[in-house]
Amino acid sequence: MPAPPEGHYHGWFDNVLWSTAPAVASAGPANAPTPVIGSKGQLPESADDLTVLPWNDLEILEAHLKEGDVAGVIMEAAMCNQGSIHPAAGYLEGVRAACTRHGAILIFDEVITGFRLAPGGAQQLFGVTPDISTFGKAIANGFPVAAIAGRADLIDMFTNGGVVHGGTYNAQPVAMAATAATLRSLTPAVYDKIGKSGTALMEGFREVFARHGVTAQVVGFGQVFHVALGLDAPAKNYRDLARMNKPAYVALTTALLRRGVRALERGAWFLSSEHDAGVIDETVAAMSDAVRELKAAGTL
């Protein structure tokens, strides 16, 4: 069976679209979350061979792996679909060792983090290598390209191990050209620029919230971070993040939109090489105005 973490997102297949953003009340206890269906039309039976686990808890993962029935563990190496949460110290290393010890395949979903946090993704940033990695999005700067990489003995099963993999648009020439051009453009200078811009934006937001007396957490990476209203400490997992004041944040994104800033309602902020110092300053100013408006209205 596969074991994905609560709050992580790994695509629309029926056997993994579970507990991506569940209501905590319906998801069962934190130490053994109940799989929550992700879409109407899914068969409940598709979760029969699935175990949803809390993230950043090595002890619980180890206990499940010891049962000997977990084929693979799939996760984001940094929880960027929800919260831009860092892995706890030693967590990824512990997961890697536990999977090796108990014969489970470790899969890192790098569709968000790959080529965004570092040229080699989150696994390069944290120094932990999975057995299989999936990539998309930034790999071709938004063109429809995805990739799977990993151990040769596993990937070679596509060609000589009886594992079927096909796609009408595999190796589509325009998308491949976009991939090559994007990867050539991702120089150390580009990562440095994006990281500095994102860090400046995060610091600007923190200053705005502190100045207006708004309880909030701005955490993550320079390239992708998350804003959570109402949290007095950084979230360590999905359950922590679920306590954020979502209605207030939606109101904040609406106020920002009126000021020319489009922000995702889930709290994620993504930086690009085109976000220069001027854009950062304008965005911080818009955030300050929006927070002032909502404070006056009693929303924050």
Give the residue numbers marked as catalytic.
Answer: 9, 109, 137
Taking CA atoms, 204 is separated from 23, 168, 208, 286, in Å, by: 31, 45, 6, 11
| 3-state DSSP percent of the chain in helix, strand and coil, to 5 | 40, 15, 45
Residue 138 has what DSSP assignment? Answer: G
Q: How would you classify the pairing of strands 224-229 and 268-270?
A: antiparallel
Determine the residue type at 214.
V
Beta bridge pairs of residue 228: 217
Q: What is the largest CA-CA distance in the chain?
A: 65
SS3 180: helix
- Which is nearest to 225 in space by CA: 113, 133, 68, 64? 113
HSE-up (13 A, CA, CB side) for residue 297 = 12
